[in-house]
Amino acid sequence: MASIGNNSLNAKLVLLGDMGAGKSSLVLRFVKGQFLEFQESTIGAAFFSQTLAVNDATVKFEIWDTAGQERYHSLAPMYYRGAAAAIIVYDISSTESFERAKKWVQELQKQGNPNMVTALAGNKADLEDKRKVSTEEAQTYAQENGLFFMETSAKTATNVNEIFYEIARSMLFLGVLVSFTSTPATGLWCNGQSIWKCNRISHKSSKEELRTE
Amino acid sequence: MFGPQTHSEPSNGGFLSQKTNWRRITSSNPTTSATTITTITKKANNLSVKFQDLYGFSVEGNIDDVNVLNEVRERVRQQGKEWWALEASKGANWYLQPQHSSSGEGLTVPSKLTAIANTITSTMTLKKLIRKGIPPVLRPKVWLSVSGATKKRSTVPLSYYNDLLVAIEGKVTPATMQIDHDLPRTFPCHPWLDTPEGKAALRRVLVVYSFRDSDVGYCQGLNYIAALLLLVMKTEEDAFWMLAVLLENVLVNDCYTDNLSGCHVEQRVFRDLLAKKCPRISAHLEAMEFDVSLVATEWFLCLFSKSLPSETTLRVWDILFNEGAKVLFHVALAIFKMKEEELLRTHQIGDVIHILQSTTHHLFDPDELLTVAFDKIGSMTANTITKQRKKQEPAVMAELDQRLRRLNSVKMDEK
């Protein structure tokens, strides 16, 4: 449980993207600092948690790493429902995976929570000689769609911690906004309660939950 | 919980001689020897041990797990003796197609009745025996028979599998590309599956199946199931037929097709059953806004092969092939039931998942799980479950349809 008086958030984060783009590898690198050449294919989804300290605040990520095969698409809403953040992953050596990433972006824009912090990760950045998606193209797309963009490599650990750190920072910023404006839409959590829930039930148990910002 | 089993033990060489056969494919896996401990690392006060389980999988656990696993090995051996004893008294292969004994035409009414009674007794004996586990060496024969795979195979020419193998040679389809992608990612640490030979066999089974049923093609999850089937069945043709009977007869339809609608149905049925059989857990998790499908989807799609230790998974499959898909509900409910008190104390989703994952990971004793699954969960008839499925189907179809329409409207906006 988060300590009282600290700025501490619990945030649901979901990873989406084509099969083999490296979603599980990114999570494994971030959570355990490991990399496996052959990462077992994920079925349904796998859960991880990891806490990050950002300045004087902490963000505890509850990470849902989803299965990439197209037919698993129908299960995705269960995992992105109520998520505060999403990382959409593609493989820089596969144009198909970039196209699929765009579809995920559209879907989240349409169905996801409107305050969701969304990042686009061009993974396998170590495979420069096999690159099919240029940095500029992805960067432009990300800007047009209000996404935060980084090229990552789970293999070499490039930008892996950074992308999660940036998401945490954006969320803390957003979290402060949300708790001031009481928007009951986001999936940000504080002290084990989602903020909007805290606001709604604040008349009952206000002391702890509201002292987060 | 796992007291000594006291069966009379007539010595029987069959078990041992057939075991040699079994070694052919797994090569590294002495079913009867004591657990091989690979490495021991000391982490704080817990001893973490890496060892190989009964089917050659590397697992990590503590010393207790190793002891349990050794005990399970011993019980598997005892259970084998029970099967051999029955074979000695009832004749070899008595368990294959017990219904055949009732087909005596021209018998008098009383002898027909006796024949039927004998069949029922046989079926009941077999059911009890299978619930206690099929010895690994007998699994191929018994599974092929009780699941209906033998019957299924008998409806096509003997050369069916080989003909398909020839037909698929050199063909590249979306399914084969996805299969190739997943081959090195299927139980990557298994000593046999990690060999070129193992991967080639797994590839053939999956590719041939994708051609047999193009609606299924290849669905992620089947790679784990087919891999485990190969380890048990030893020949890829037998593994293929088990996969076919599983998808076409044993499991609910459309678990692995297009939008996994069958899987959605099963998840809804499971949620209802949890509310009925474990109402406290169900209410507690619902209050936490924890959807049990978050964890149970993988259980159902991989038939527990990714979560439970191998022998425990295969004990579930023993019952699955003999009694049908309802065992999946029994087992899934049991996993929750076993940790009822702990689960009721959780307040965070992460804790729920942690409890469930560590429970399944350490379930090296299949009887511990199956006792809860059948004795504590209580009976559920196949009929009840069929009715539940029928009830849920329209809702699933409507949900998937609505989703599809919304996604299409995303595409329209684009234009």
Model confidence over B341-387: pLDDT tens digits? 999 999 999 999 999 999 999 999 999 999 999 999 998 888 999 99
Residue B199, token pair as written in the block:
């991967």
In this complex, do B414 and A41 lie within 8 Å of one another by their Cβ atoms? Answer: no
At residue A151, the 3 state secondary structure works out as strand
pLDDT tier for residue B11 given thresholds of 50, 70 and 90 = very low
Rounded distance between C-alpha atoms, residue A7 and residue A213, angstroms:
6
By the CB < 8 Å criterion, does B400 face chain A? yes
Residue extent(s) of CATH 1.10.8.270 domains in chain B: 145-250
What ranges make up the beta strands (E) of B26-113?
Answer: 37-43, 46-52, 58-61
Neighbours of B229 (CB within 10 A): 26
In this complex, do B294 and A36 lie within 8 Å of one another by their Cβ atoms? Answer: no
By Cβ distance, the residue of A10, A62, A78 closest to B291 is A78
CB pairs under 8 A between A and B: 88
pLDDT value at position B14? 33
Rounded distance between C-alpha atoms, residue A210 and residue A212, angstroms:
5
Residue A141, token pair as written in the block:
């797309």
Residue B288, token pair as written in the block:
């936490």
pLDDT value at position B122? 82
At residue A189, the 3 state secondary structure works out as strand
By Cβ distance, the residue of B263, B348, B413 closest to A192 is B348
ipTM of the complex, rounded to two decimals: 0.81
Given a cut of 50, is residue A207 above it in pLDDT? no
pLDDT tier for residue A132 given thresholds of 50, 70 and 90 = very high
Long-range CB contacts for residues B252-257, cutoff 8 Å, separation at least 24: B252/B325, B252/B389, B255/B300, B255/B301, B256/A71, B256/B216, B256/B219, B256/B221, B256/B222, B256/B301, B257/A71, B257/B215, B257/B216, B257/B219
CA-closest candidate to residue B74, choices B165, B164, B6:
B6
Mean pLDDT of chain B: 86
Given a cut of 80, is residue B149 above it in pLDDT? yes
Instruction: Return the residue in A71, A78, A93 with the most chain B beta carbons within 10 A, the one to mutate for interface testing.
Output: A71
pLDDT value at position B410? 61
Chain A positions in Cβ-Cβ contact with residue B181 (cut-off 8 Å): 19-20
CB within 8 A of A209, min separation 6: which ones?
Answer: A190, A191, A193, A198, A201, A202
Instruction: Return the residue in A47, A91, A141 with the most chain B beta carbons within 10 A, the one to mutate for interface testing.
Output: A47
Chain B positions in Cβ-Cβ contact with residue A74 (cut-off 8 Å): 259-261, 264, 400, 403
Instruction: Return the residue in B215, B260, B358, B412 with the most chain A beta carbons within 10 A, the one to mutate for interface testing.
Output: B260
pLDDT tier for residue A167 given thresholds of 50, 70 and 90 = very high
By Cβ distance, the residue of B257, B298, B349 closest to A43 is B298
By the CB < 8 Å criterion, does B39 face chain A? no
pLDDT value at position A5? 37
In this complex, do A77 and B289 lie within 8 Å of one another by their Cβ atoms? Answer: no
Residue B298, token pair as written in the block:
């993988």
Residue extent(s) of CATH 1.10.472.80 domains in chain B: 261-399
Task: Classify residue A37 by its DSSP letter.
Answer: S
Could you give the angle at which helices B382-414 and B261-277 cross, rounded to 10 degrees? 130
Assigned architecture for domain B261-399: Orthogonal Bundle (1.10)
Which CATH code is given to the segment(s) B145-250? 1.10.8.270
Distance of CA B338 to the CA centre of its chain: 20
In this complex, do A41 and B186 lie within 8 Å of one another by their Cβ atoms? Answer: yes
Given a cut of 80, is residue A193 above it in pLDDT? no
By the CB < 8 Å criterion, does B407 face chain A? yes
pTM for this prediction: 0.85
Chain A positions in Cβ-Cβ contact with residue B184 (cut-off 8 Å): 38
pLDDT value at position B12? 36
